[in-house]
Structure 1
Amino acid sequence: MFINRTPFVEQMQQTECGICCISMVAGKYNAHKTLRELRNMAGIGRDGVTLYTMRNTAVRLGFKAKVFRAELHQLSQLRLPVIAHWNENHYVVIDKINKNSIKIIDPAVGRQTISYEEFQKSYNFIVLEMTPTEQVVPQKRVSVWGKFLKYLMEIPKKVTIVIIIAIIYQLGTLGMPILVQYLIDNIITANKFQLLSIFMVSVIFLTIVQGFVQFFRGKFIIVLNNTLDKRMMQHFFSHILKLPYQFFQLRSFGDLLFRASSLRIIREMLSSKLVLGLLDFSAITFITIYMLNKSLVLTSLVVGLSLLNVLMLILTKRRLKEVNQDEILKTSQLQSYQTEFLYGIFGIKTAGIEKETYHRWASFLDQLIQAYKNKEGFMNMIASLSGTLQMMSPLLVLWIGAMLVFNNQLSLGELIAFYSLSNNFFSMSGSIVQTINSFMLTGAYLERVQDVLDEPLEHTDDDKESITEFKGNIRLDNVSFRYSEHSDWVVKDISLDIVSGQKIAIVGQSGAGKSTLAKLILGLYMPSNGKVYFDGKDIRELNLSALRKQIGVVPQDVSLFNRSIKDNISLYKEDVSLEEIQSVTKMAEIYEDIVRMPMGFNTMVSELGMNISGGQRQRIALARALLNKPSVILLDEATSSLDHQNEKRIDHFLRRLKCTRVVIAHKLTTIMDSDLIIVMENGEITALGTHHDLLKKSEFYAEFYAKFQEHAYSPV
């Protein structure tokens, strides 16, 4: 079996370091697997994977795998690479053990060489060893370039125009040295002074034409760039909006935004560098044919010097890819942390940890700066060597060419033309080398973007049945849910009938599965087992987007947008009148608060709604939920920030709507009048009934009520 260098595979989400390590070790033996394939095999969920699951995944790939305890001195006796348990909740690959250091590959950080002392601080003395067997199937690493080249194939007319204009421009550039040769050999040397003015006027005219061609080339490249930008961004964000809710629970928002911004780098590669690089290659072919026709000696010199440039690229390729991947990784980590602390600024301020937050941010910044220095320093070294070679090469051509002129093997005009063309040759070959470098570097961005685009979409197909008049009847038939094939059940064997117009309450301790059950009812999660029916129709056969438009949701943590209050309620629906918005705000008891604001309904809400109170945010969210006249409304601690009087008035309005209400609350005043109260413990329904029924038959609910009474009547 062919054995190569252990590849670096970056983890795309926090819970997949284990499968990244499996991918790296498998790649060592040329059995490359995509993270998408390994996620499906290992069943990656919210809580990551265990060593047991990792061992089973390795066995399914054809490896003999075993997990065991290994002391530090025993590691050198193992067949490297091996996977090590790291810092209690992480995995890394031990790639090489030297006399004074150990080389590890961390899927979250990259390649590192650390001392034995540093290694011992994080090593948990547990390893997973993967030994290849005959069952291991060699598999090449999948290239993602083909999936992005399709964007060029979708706009053949624009690409063709750019190519044709670029060819005309290059023909003009290459033709100029040949015209100079003609000037020297056929006009100046031949003393044909009468042709000089005509010739020079013609050359000036061609130069002006060349300038116009250059202008139109740049203009059409801008058009091509804009078209690619639009198509790629539309595809990316359209795909993201169609991904299931679970995807966003496992991803960093900052990292997703970084991937989106990477599309511009990919577009630059596709629209300019790739197309022009291919044209440079074609031009070099024509130059070589011309030069061979004039002098085999000089052509061999030019090609030989250019091959030195290519050799340098081959020798530096691996290191260049490593330093680029490291910079991308550090940039993503910094952006993710910046997004994290901005979202969590309330907690940072209230805990008084501004200094600690700054120092952690500065640590990420220092790592990025170091990664940038490493990459730029290495690229600067390559550019310096390449530039020196490019400056020296034409001089060598001039030197050898001059000898050929003295020996009457070459005319002076041919030497000047050869010198100019060799400059073009070296410039274009250098450009091709840079294009190949960019091609390799862009691959890291491509993989990060493609990782998102490979995620399966939610079932929101337009060809599925749309419930246009949802009555609000919901039935759960033996529904169970877990985040992955190997994780614990979060909700188990739930059977429940919710009748249109009922008020249903869900109670239980934190972690009992209340919010998960609510998300199953909303269709945000698909059941792992069992079925969910809406008005008697299986949710898997319905258009989810159409269904959700008829369900109102008021979450505990309300998300508001940096837009006006009116836009936050209407969510940009153009067919909604101000009167309708005012009506729902009155139902949500927020109308008086809004009209007292300086700009009324046009008052701008800051990002996340930080400039208004928690109670106001909840009532705006309630108004938003009521605007669509929902058949079902879910209230997840939706009135937790409200006073008793406001809460009572809102409940009175909701009763008049006669829609199905599903309430998750810890305040008994909110749920005591429910038609059905569901008690959940450890993901199961342990009791259900009315308030009075549960006081008699549910120990948990009776204790819950007793604590409520104790708190309600305790002296202030």
Structure 2
Amino acid sequence: MRWIAQGEQNECGLACLAMIANHYDGFSNLQRIRKRLGEAPFGSTAAQLVNQAEQLGFSASAYSVRLRDLKKLKLPAILHWQMNHFVVLKKIKRKGLCILDPSQGERFIDWQSGNHKFTGVALEFDLERPIQLSLGQPRETQKLPKLSRASWLNLAGLLVTSLLVQLLMLAMPFHLQLIIDRGVSFADLDFVVAISVLFAIVVVIRQLFSFGYEWAFAHFNQALSKQLSGELFDHLIHLPLRFFRHRSVGNLMSRFTSLDELKRLLLSNVFPLLIDAFFVLLVGVILLSLSPLLGFSALVAFTLVMIIRSLCFRPFKESNLQAIEHHADSQTQYVASVRSIHSISCLGVEANAVRRWRDAFSLAVSYEYKALLISSIMRNAQQLVLSIEMLVGTYIAASLVLSGGLSIGQLVVYTVYRKLFSDRLATAVDRIFQLRLVEMHHARLCDITAEGRERFATPLIKTDSSLSIHDVSYQPTNHRKPIFRDVSLRLDHGEWLWLKGDSGVGKSSLLRLLMQCEQPSSGTLFVGGVELRNDPRPDLRKVITSVTPLDSLIAGNLAENIVSFSDDVDQSWLREVLEYCELLHCLQALPLGLATPAHDAEKVLSSGQLQRVFLARALYRKPQILLLDEATSHLDSQLEQRIFTVLKRTEITILAVSHGSNMGRFATSTVRLTAQGLQPE
């Protein structure tokens, strides 16, 4: 049964369902389960897992069961674990349970530990209909970057050059055989000189080809890295916002670096493996030509090495994956601690931050140690087999020399080729099992590449500046009830609507629907007379803009941020916008002025000044519709009124959320949002 790792901390339930589904159909994975059932940002309950399993084609039942009665369940089953986790029960053994933990891999739990961790809730599954009918086609194809014709020619050139280098290397042992069997035996010094000069030329040619191969390989590696990393980052940055909402920074960084590992594994192993395989085959034929018994001895060694590697590969792969996952967690803890250093220092919780990072890092290091230990066992067992085979082969070859079956020169050739065969065989087997790790890194990358990019229609430059919402309800994934329902409103050009409501009632969610960051559960939304539908989304980013608490400065300087990195900057409009927001003098007072880097500006500007920077950025775009979510909450009352006065003069259509009282003097209408809809005030 295949283990599937959870992508995020709260995805253990979905990962368990993916393992159950994969057990029955062999191709289900977490990405496909997410696509079919949606994400689980807040985790899952046992009841939700039962409902989701039925959507996949299972008949699922939840039972309250004692630990010793688990043997009555149909396996695999899902167990509720440690009050906040789900695991898959794979097998019941005499001394305990074999479980698949989405966060830690396959584990054996003795009965005593299981009694403390199992909560008593188990889910049993029966397949009622083929899962393919629920999940669609058996496998999602991943589009790989297309290599240019020149790249394919470079690859072909690399392969040919590498083959030439290996063939020239293969010829070198014949130098010794000719020297011994012809030069020494017949005391022919001229022959020895001629052969030495000839093979010296071969050595020079081989090194020239070797240098050319290494230079071309480095150039191709650089070009391919730029292409693959560029295309992956371009894809990542164009994914929907919902993709990033519940994924940690460390997790995404770790998955992105899987591309480097994937590229390294392929470039460092595919071509060399082809060469090594060719080399091993050719040397094996030579050994067989010297003696079938010697060739059979080499074949037995190869078979034993493959068996050893196959037995050790699975725990080696799982240890590597666990090390990667926990390193991602430690990266997340590191980034989160650095971002929150002000709060950590003020609250005096440095010890807690260190403990959380150290726990994650220690787990990663422990799995790295386990992987290194397994690798050491494989390598030493492999070396033992090859060393014993070398001794046996040398004995056989010496016996053949004594019986007249081989000459002294052939014995020397055998010794050299046997060493080459042993080295290349070990390298080839290493490369084969390294390439089997490609699947692990590819699966991690698929979490990014399998997600579809946002598709936008042709950008709209100008609309009628109206907003219209008809019977809109919104219920996030895994929420038991809608946040709000049956919301309808309309704003015409130049109107200003003040949206009030209690905290948590859904005011910000309604604005996110209008910004197309979320999709409504039902109902329709129109911006400028254009319906906000999905696939493709209407591109209204030049028409509508927003200022929200989620805004931040983008890497660059202040001026670039305010003009949204435009190449054609309207300096007079930029100055006017800064004056509107009363920012001109305070930003010019900075040592670098508008050229101040964003990361420095966030440290020296107050929260109110940053809010005005975000407002200036929105106004510079000359939007027809402006959405404000607590956009002036950090401003004093008088400054807030002056900015509202400026906004009123612009005649922009405004939908604003605010808990303050100043907005009532400027808004043309006011409504209150409740769970049942809008109520005018």
Aligned with residue 376 of structure 1, among 372, 388, 410: 372
CA–CA distance in 1 between the matches of 2:452 and 2:269?
Answer: 31
Q: Is the 8 A contact 2:628 2:656 kept in 1?
A: yes
User: Structure 1 pair 131/318, CA: closer, same or farther in 2 (3 Å)?
Assistant: same
Aligned with residue 23 of structure 2, among 28, 33, 47: 28
Counterpart amino acid of residue 593 in structure 1:
C
Q: Is the 8 A contact 1:473 1:500 kept in 2?
A: yes
Query: Quick one: percent identity of the two aligned structures?
Result: 25
Aligned with residue 482 of structure 2, among 455, 476, 489: 489
Q: How far does residue 142 in structure 1 lie from its aligned partner after superposition?
A: 7.6
Counterpart amino acid of residue 489 in structure 2:
L
User: Structure 1 pair 35/356, CA: closer, same or farther in 2 (3 Å)?
Assistant: same
Matched, 1:427 2:406: no
In structure 2, what is the equivalent of residue 19 of structure 1?
A: 14
Structure-2-length-normalised TM-score: 0.93
Mean Cα deviation higher: 474-483 or 326-335? 474-483
In structure 1, what is the equivalent of residue 404 of structure 2?
A: 408
- Paired residues, number: 680
**1:339-418 equivalent positions in 2, closer than 5 A:** 339-418=335-414
Q: How far does residue 98 in structure 1 lie from its aligned partner after superposition?
A: 4.1
Counterpart amino acid of residue 259 in structure 1:
R
CA–CA distance in 2 between the matches of 1:500 and 1:134?
Answer: 54
In structure 2, what is the equivalent of residue 706 of structure 1?
A: none
Q: Is the 8 A contact 2:459 2:541 kept in 1?
A: no
Matched, 1:155 2:151: yes
User: Structure 1 pair 490/240, CA: closer, same or farther in 2 (3 Å)?
Assistant: farther
Residues 77-102 of structure 1 show CA distances to partners (whole Å, capped at 9, x for unaligned) of 32333212234443112233445543
In structure 2, what is the equivalent of residue 170 of structure 1?
A: 166
Aligned with residue 332 of structure 2, among 319, 333, 336: 336
In structure 2, what is the equivalent of residue 657 of structure 1?
A: 650
In structure 2, what is the equivalent of residue 678 of structure 1?
A: 671
In structure 2, what is the equivalent of residue 82 of structure 1?
A: 77
Residues 417-444 of structure 1 show CA distances to partners (whole Å, capped at 9, x for unaligned) of 2222222222222112111221222322
Residues 19-45 of structure 1 show CA distances to partners (whole Å, capped at 9, x for unaligned) of 211222333345441223222333335
Residues 290-320 of structure 1 show CA distances to partners (whole Å, capped at 9, x for unaligned) of 3222221111112221222111111112221
Residues 60-116 of structure 1 show CA distances to partners (whole Å, capped at 9, x for unaligned) of 444432112112232233233321223444311223344554333221222233344
User: Structure 1 pair 50/420, CA: closer, same or farther in 2 (3 Å)?
Assistant: same
CA–CA distance in 1 between the matches of 2:604 and 2:368?
Answer: 38
Mean Cα deviation higher: 57-66 or 360-369? 57-66
Q: How far does residue 208 in structure 1 lie from its aligned partner after superposition?
A: 1.5
Q: Is the 8 A contact 1:61 1:136 kept in 2?
A: yes
**1:236-635 equivalent positions in 2, closer than 5 A:** 236-460=232-456, 464-484=457-477, 488-540=481-533, 544=537, 546-606=539-599, 609-635=602-628
Residues 669-704 of structure 1 show CA distances to partners (whole Å, capped at 9, x for unaligned) of 13442122231112x42313xxxxx1xxxxxxxxxx
| 3-state DSSP of counterpart to 1:85 | strand
Q: How far does residue 11 in structure 1 lie from its aligned partner after superposition?
A: 0.9
Aligned with residue 205 of structure 1, among 179, 201, 207: 201
Residues 339-374 of structure 1 show CA distances to partners (whole Å, capped at 9, x for unaligned) of 222233333233321111111211112111111111
Q: Is the 8 A contact 1:15 1:250 kept in 2?
A: no
Mean Cα deviation higher: 118-127 or 262-271? 118-127
Q: How far does residue 498 in structure 1 lie from its aligned partner after superposition?
A: 1.8
Matched, 1:184 2:176: no
Counterpart amino acid of residue 400 in structure 2:
L
Contiguous gaps of at least 5 residues in structure 1: 1-5, 689-693, 695-716
CA–CA distance in 2 between the matches of 1:19 and 1:558?
Answer: 31
Matched, 1:105 2:100: yes
Q: How far does residue 381 in structure 1 lie from its aligned partner after superposition?
A: 1.8
| 3-state DSSP of counterpart to 1:666 | coil
| 3-state DSSP of counterpart to 2:656 | strand
Aligned with residue 679 of structure 2, among 679, 683, 687: 687
Q: Is the 8 A contact 1:243 1:458 kept in 2?
A: yes
User: Structure 1 pair 579/178, CA: closer, same or farther in 2 (3 Å)?
Assistant: farther
| 3-state DSSP of counterpart to 1:155 | helix
User: Structure 1 pair 641/631, CA: closer, same or farther in 2 (3 Å)?
Assistant: same
User: Structure 1 pair 542/405, CA: closer, same or farther in 2 (3 Å)?
Assistant: closer
In structure 2, what is the equivalent of residue 119 of structure 1?
A: 114
Q: Is the 8 A contact 1:46 1:483 kept in 2?
A: no
Residues 262-286 of structure 1 show CA distances to partners (whole Å, capped at 9, x for unaligned) of 2111001121212211221122222
CA RMSD across the alignment: 2.8
| 3-state DSSP of counterpart to 1:610 | helix
User: Structure 1 pair 90/27, CA: closer, same or farther in 2 (3 Å)?
Assistant: same
User: Structure 1 pair 128/439, CA: closer, same or farther in 2 (3 Å)?
Assistant: same
| 3-state DSSP of counterpart to 2:91 | strand
User: Structure 1 pair 95/166, CA: closer, same or farther in 2 (3 Å)?
Assistant: same
CA–CA distance in 1 between the matches of 2:57 and 2:534?
Answer: 38
Q: Is the 8 A contact 2:563 2:621 kept in 1?
A: no
User: Structure 1 pair 521/551, CA: closer, same or farther in 2 (3 Å)?
Assistant: same
